[in-house]
Chain A
Amino acid sequence: MNTVQVTVKMFGLLKTLAGHQHELSLELRQGSHVRDLMDLLHARYPQVGEMILNKQVLISINQEIAHQETEIHVNDEIALLPPFAGDCGSDE
């Protein structure tokens, strides 16, 4: 089974929930999609997985918002984006 190693950038609260890691290094099957990454994250980091399932976290690939069906390729820049500062009812 061919696999690809991917790096996932973490921001904000998610870093804390993932054990204070700025980046996660994960192994996916070749041809995996975002939904496969979500399953893997849920297994390894249940609190992060819950936030993704509750749609509190967006996943970006190459700095664009991705969807569950988006395919992941080697060297893709993947990031988990918790709610942005301005979108949480706050106001400067």
Chain B
Amino acid sequence: MAVETGDMMLVRVQRENFSVDQEIDRVRNRSTRIGGIATFLGTARDHSQGREVNSITFEYYEGMAQKKLREIRERALQDFDVIEVLILHRHGAIEIGENIVLIVVGAEHRADSFQACQWCIDELKRITPIWKLEQTPSGDVWVEEHP
């Protein structure tokens, strides 16, 4: 199957797991000017604020979440000296250790890719309507319920 390389594939919210290598290649193949690729991979951990966590479920606002992620990608391309940006977030039930979120930034030089990558994940967490439900031994907890 041919790998799609359109902009649609560079910002996604999807249930399925993803291949980090495949997503890095998606960015790498956008330009031969790329000389450095920075990535951030968020994974599901088994504890949160002192509580044991068995699994996590992510809920998102269909439409608005993708819109905010597209805005983040466009602002990163505009404000940093980078060549391509990919942002991917999963929704639904996620087991401990699995992938949750991936940012991939390709630039000519490493400093720009590192800076843009950090900005993208920080901004994603700040403005994207995605919510986390943690399944714990004492019941399900929305993250905002934590003290």
Which residues of A are at the interface with B, using a C-beta cutoff of 8 A? 9, 11-13, 16, 56, 60, 63, 79, 81-92
Contacts and interface: CB of A to CB of B under 8 A. Distances in A.
A63 to B, nearest CB: 4
A84 B143 CA distance: 9
Contacts of A60: 61, 64, 129
B143 A90 contact: yes
Interface residues of B, number: 29
B42 A11 contact: no
B127 interface: yes
B54 interface: no
24 contacts: A11-B61, A11-B131, A12-B59, A12-B133, A12-B142, A12-B144, A13-B142, A79-B61, A82-B144, A83-B143, A83-B144, A84-B125, A84-B129, A84-B131, A85-B58, A85-B131, A86-B124, A86-B128, A88-B132, A88-B146, A90-B48, A90-B143, A91-B42, A92-B100
A16 B44 contact: no
Which of B48, B101, B144 has the most A CB atoms < 10 Å from its CB? B144
Q: SS class of chain A's interface: helix, strand, loop or mixed?
A: loop
Nearest to A12: B131
Interface in B102-129: 124-129
Contact of A92 (B42, B59, B64, B67): B42
A84 B128 contact: yes
Nearest to B58: A85
Contacts of B58: 85
Contact of B142 (A9, A81, A82, A92): A82
A88 B145 CA distance: 9
Interface in B13-57: 42-45, 48-49
A86 B63 contact: no
A88 B144 CA distance: 6
Question: 5 closest Cβ contacts across the A-B interface?
Answer: A86-B125, A92-B42, A85-B132, A12-B131, A63-B64
